[in-house]
Copies of this chain bind each other. A is one copy, B any other.
Amino acid sequence: MILGNQVEWTLHCMSVLSWFPEDVAVPSKLLAEFHGVRKDYLLKALQRLAGAGIVVTTTGPKGGYRLAKSPEEISLLEIIEAVEGRQSSFHCQEIRKNNPCNKTTGQKSPVCSIAAVMYKADHAWRDVLKKTKLSDVIRDVNATVPQKSLAESKEWFLERI
C-alpha cells in the first residue's frame, strides 16, 4: 500500500510546467536536473502522462513537455492514476465462495461486507484527490513559497530552454 516515487516526481513536474505559457516546452532533462532525479526514469512517468492526455510532447530541439489542459481541469487523481494505474487498492478475491458450507454457488451475490468497507475507504482516498485540482496546489505553493524563490526557479528554466 505504498505509492512509487514517480508519483511525487510527477506532481512536482506538473507544478513546474504550470509556470510556463503554452508555447514553451520544458524538456525532461531540465525537469530531472531541477529535481535531482534520474532523467530516464522520470521520462517513463511523463510518457504515461502523455498517454493519458494530461501533457503533450514535442520532439527535437526546443522540444519537451507542456500541459495539455489548464490547471483547473487537471485533478491530482488523474495524474496519480495515469502513473500508478486505475485499479482499486483492494482487490476482493471472493474467498467467501470457498466456504465449504456455501451452497449458493453462482447465484446473486451482493458485495461482501468486508469488501464494501474497503471500497468505501478507497473511494474516500480517491475523492480527496479527485476534488483537488492542480490549480489548488499551485495556489498553495504561491502562498507558502517566497515569490523571490519562485521567480529564480522560473528564471533557471528559461535561461536553459
Contacts and interface: CB of A to CB of B under 8 A. Distances in A.
Interface of A: 1-3, 5, 7-9, 11-12, 15, 33-37, 76, 84-85, 87, 89-93, 95-96, 98-104, 110, 113-118, 120-122, 124-129, 132, 136-137, 140-141, 144, 149, 152-153, 156
A8 B99 contact: no
Nearest to A122: B125
A102 B150 CA distance: 9
A88 to B, nearest CB: 8
Contacts of A156: 100-101
Q: How many copies does the complex hold?
A: 2
Given A125-B125, A144-B113, A153-B99, A1 B84 contact: yes
A134 to B, nearest CB: 10
A2 B95 contact: no
B124 A128 contact: yes
A103 B89 CA distance: 39
A90 B128 contact: no
